[in-house]
Homo-oligomer: A and B are copies of this chain.
């Protein structure tokens, strides 16, 4: 089914234990700060119910039921491109933060289940598919919870000193289910979700097998406490906040994130998708990483377009758009934006087929390159746009000064730019620029969906080292390349032409 926005909103009044800014929240839909998060989540249902976007978001499942397209499993490049399009369209409304988390967690769990069942003879696929059907039918909002709080980063979970709960773990196995304890941090789209799929964030060893656990749970389950992150704007969205923080007043970086504490939470077996199979913990960590980075690459499309756009606007407003060094900076922003966009498209066009499963995973190499492209360069991009904007990016005019009739004439007169540009437009562009290049944006860009190092590891792991080495060996005259499938088909350079050439003329002085 496709729920209405109203049904979705109503479902969030479920008695969950959640805090925001040090206060217990009675109802997330009426809380002045969490409203922004709820609106963010609700967008996904607005779009699914929008007649013009129906074809993008609604499909039928095998039972002929209307379901959200995102809750079906991609089986082809076309499916992935469709999914990408849906993610990008939603991102233009700051949406999809919720759906993407659950969708990508489920996709990763599905592949994992397939691999485990094949190798270990378990029946996880059945459970995962039953859960998918459940979600398709209930149209619940599901987030995905991966990052543990970690404690001492140099120690494995069971080596931690203060306590053993720095990573979520199974503390009891019962007849009907398991009991889990621990905490997950910066879990996106949580106040606006109904359920969460919980999965490990790192490779575990055998001694840490209790930490190798994947499961789904409603967020109002007994024992779950949510601590909502500090929002970018500490208060209700108003005309003032819209001027001062034009994007953060819609949805701020990190606004939807929660710390989720699992204080001995019971999970029934049918919602447990991994339990102790430590050898597969790396698989699930990598799978979710890559799947969700594809979303990151959709989410960032409008951000980079907007960043490049505001740079172009400021160049124009300041009268700088004809200067070569400004154009070089703008050209670089374009290159970053368009290079990144096509790279993530390639990730869908060249999917990876999971052996023996009719599933299309996003291409691991291109997805990770695309994510890395913007994450590696975001700080430089902020520097470039701040440079074009000028020092006023550090002390822009707030709403209150602009609205004071004694100050406004001075501001109007003196903060103009190029003739023909409204001073107000220039000031608004500056506020936007500051808003999207702040420290939280910077940090979020390099850490969300995995650190830079996580992507680098994927380049290394996914690389076709045999091709590279064989190519180098052929060039260097080192034997071994002849056996390579591709390179071995090439002929020796030297035999090809030399015999057909006339003898060398030795009369030259060289």
Q: Is the CB of B318 within 8 A of A153?
A: yes
- A93 touches which one: B254, B335, B490 (CB < 8 A)? B490
Within 8 A of B (CB), among A468-490: 468-473, 475-478, 490
Q: Interface size of A by Cβ–Cβ distance < 8 Å?
A: 186
Q: Does A119 contact B (CB under 8 A)?
A: no
Q: Does A467 contact B (CB under 8 A)?
A: yes
Q: Does A356 contact B (CB under 8 A)?
A: no
Residues of B within 8 Å of A324, CB to CB, are 323-325
Point out which of A186, A257, A373, A394 has the most chain B C-beta atoms below 10 A from its C-beta. Answer: A394
Q: Does A15 contact B (CB under 8 A)?
A: no
Q: Does A147 contact B (CB under 8 A)?
A: yes
Min CB gap A291→B, angstroms: 18
Min CB gap A41→B, angstroms: 9
Complexed CA–CA distance, A365 and B247 (Å): 29
Residues of B within 8 Å of A153, CB to CB, are 318-320, 417
- A30 touches which one: B328, B403, B502 (CB < 8 A)? B502
What 6 A-B pairs have minimum CB-CB distances, sorted nearest first?
A22-B400, A309-B472, A309-B468, A152-B319, A391-B447, A161-B419
Point out which of A22, A162, A419, A440 has the most chain B C-beta atoms below 10 A from its C-beta. Answer: A22
Within 8 A of B (CB), among A142-184: 147, 149-155, 161-163, 165-166, 182-183
Q: Does A346 contact B (CB under 8 A)?
A: yes
Binding stretch for chain B, among A123-131, A211-219, A272-280, A336-344: A336-344
Residues of B within 8 Å of A498, CB to CB, are 39
Residues of B within 8 Å of A246, CB to CB, are 475-477
Residues of B within 8 Å of A9, CB to CB, are 500-502
Q: Is the CB of A387 within 8 A of B451?
A: yes
Q: Does A443 contact B (CB under 8 A)?
A: yes
Min CB gap A316→B, angstroms: 8
Q: Does A65 contact B (CB under 8 A)?
A: no
